[in-house]
Chain A
Amino acid sequence: MLKIPDRQLIINRRQLFKLSAFSGAAWLLNGCGTSLYSPQVQRIFEPLNQSIETKILNPTQPVPEFPISAIEPNALLINTFDQTPVLDPATFRLSIDGEVATPVALSMGELQKLPLTSMVIRHVCVEGWAAIVQWGGIRLRDLADLVQPSPQARYVYFQSADGYYESWDIASVLHPQTLMAYQKNGQPLAIENGAPLRLAAPIKLGYKLSKWVTKITFTSQLATEKGYWEDRGYEWFGGI
């Protein structure tokens, strides 16, 4: 009698496992040196990470500062996406508008009459370097008091003279250490660092700290354009 051999499995469990492991590894290795699926990864995980960093931000508590002796003048590198605009401080006006009760356009003279807040904090760049720097300027919170944003305003846009633009959550804008700075390391702010006015804060990554700011707009809606670097794939909240 002819014995028909038992039908063999085409592939047993161990072989399937091996095959999957190698296929998975090959697929992933194919991504090395590429931006394999990073937009998709961002889409899945940025909301999760953002919800956490929103929660851990204490909107009223200052973060610890440093002594003046800790300042690292050479560590603050200069980055700019395009040209360096040269603004005339005599004719410069900072416009604050949007969903506010009283929009204003302030000259440097008027700005420097407002209370000067000084802080020595760590500036952290998304690239990975950091620098301890003294910033002097006006609290955004004090500027907000001048214009009285509506309770619906949840976001703030910052427009810069070189075309750079940014948007922040209002809680971070009103944080006590968020300044419009015109002083750096005890000296008047230099043009390459953003003169006459730049954002300075210890709670956001450097790309969110716009230089050469000309306009601040309070709004209840984020536009599709959220920031120069954000529109190119960096995180929006950028909290540290």
Chain B
Amino acid sequence: MEASKPKTPKGLKQAFFIKTFHWLNIISLLLMITSGLQIYNANPVFGGRGGWLFPSLVTLGGWLGGGRHWHFAAMWLFSLNLFAYGVYIFVTQRWQHRFVSSQDLKALQTSNNPKRKNYSWHRLAYTIIIPVLLISIVSGLGMYKPAQFHGIVWLFGNNWQTLRVFHFITVPTVIIFSLLHSALALKVGGDRLVKSIFVP
């Protein structure tokens, strides 16, 4: 008797490009955050000299110079991946149906179906994180080239501390988002949904 090939579970497939964008986003965000915290420690946004420092375990680079090298390298992977994703969702018209919609918002308000509501929360979360990532890029560019990109600094009230706070706040935001996003995905689609985004 022939050994039968194991059947792939029916249904849940994500586009190859989406899985790639998702993986690269995770890797590049890890590099950006750890190198960013290395930079943070050189002069904490909260408290300046004498402010609380992040433990070296969560930093990448070893010292300010090393943190900057990693940060200004990984920024290419992070931003180009995000922009390629942006192009992809427009070209494929994914934006029309894969992000939070008015029906989702309505369901959050009026639905009695917990599954429908969880699904809406899930879509809302992974939609909102996109502008958060864009804010991290724009505020980062403002701090990287404040003279040549003075227009960006102007957007943040021409205030250096405001710029720093916005840029830093995206870090706990992304971390909290990642936890909520993972929990929601697991709740909405179980192991199958989680596997579908990670496994080729």
Contact = CB atoms under 8 A, between A and B. Distances in A.
Interface stretch (A35-43, A150-158, A214-222): A35-43
Given A32-B57, A33-B56, A49 B40 contact: no
B65 to A, nearest CB: 4
A44 B73 CA distance: 8
Interface in A121-152: 122, 124-130
A240 B73 contact: no
Contacts of A128: 39-40, 42-43, 45, 143, 164
B147 A240 contact: yes
B43 A33 contact: no
Interface of B: 3, 30-31, 34, 39-40, 42-43, 45, 48-49, 55-70, 72-73, 76, 143-148, 150, 158, 160, 164, 199-200
A17 B199 contact: yes
B148 A56 contact: yes
A17 B55 CA distance: 31
A235 interface: yes
A13 interface: yes
Contacts of B62: 33-36, 38
A192 B165 CA distance: 30
Contacts of B59: 32-33
A13 to B, nearest CB: 7
Task: For chain A, give the interface size range.
Answer: 35 or more
A77 interface: yes
Given A6-B3, A57-B148, A202-B147, A129 B69 contact: no
Contact of A14 (B42, B143, B200): B200
B5 to A, nearest CB: 10
B30 A28 contact: yes
Given A45-B72, A77-B49, A31 B150 contact: no
Interface of A: 5-6, 13-14, 17, 28, 31-36, 38-39, 41-42, 44-46, 48-49, 53, 56-58, 63-64, 66, 77, 122, 124-130, 202-203, 232-235, 239-240
Nearest to A58: B148
Nearest to A122: B146
A216 to B, nearest CB: 22
Contacts of B199: 14, 17
Contact of B150 (A33, A38, A64): A64
Contacts of A122: 146-147, 160
B interface secondary structure, majority: helix
* Most chain A beta carbons < 10 A, residue from B67, B69, B158: B69
Given A14-B199, A126-B64, A32 B34 contact: yes
B148 A239 contact: yes
A36 B61 CA distance: 6
* Most chain B beta carbons < 10 A, residue from A45, A232, A239: A45
The 8 A-B pairs with the shortest beta carbon distances in the complex, nearest first, are A35-B62, A38-B66, A33-B56, A127-B43, A128-B43, A233-B65, A35-B66, A45-B73
Contacts of A66: 158
25 contacts: A17-B199, A17-B200, A28-B31, A33-B59, A34-B62, A35-B62, A36-B60, A38-B61, A38-B66, A45-B73, A46-B69, A53-B148, A57-B148, A77-B49, A122-B146, A122-B147, A127-B43, A127-B64, A130-B146, A202-B147, A232-B65, A233-B63, A234-B65, A234-B68, A240-B148
B64 A38 contact: no
Contacts of A234: 65, 68
A32 B34 CA distance: 8
* Most chain A beta carbons < 10 A, residue from B45, B49, B64: B64
A181 B160 CA distance: 23
Contacts of A31: 60
B36 to A, nearest CB: 11
A235 B144 CA distance: 13
B64 A235 contact: no
A125 to B, nearest CB: 7
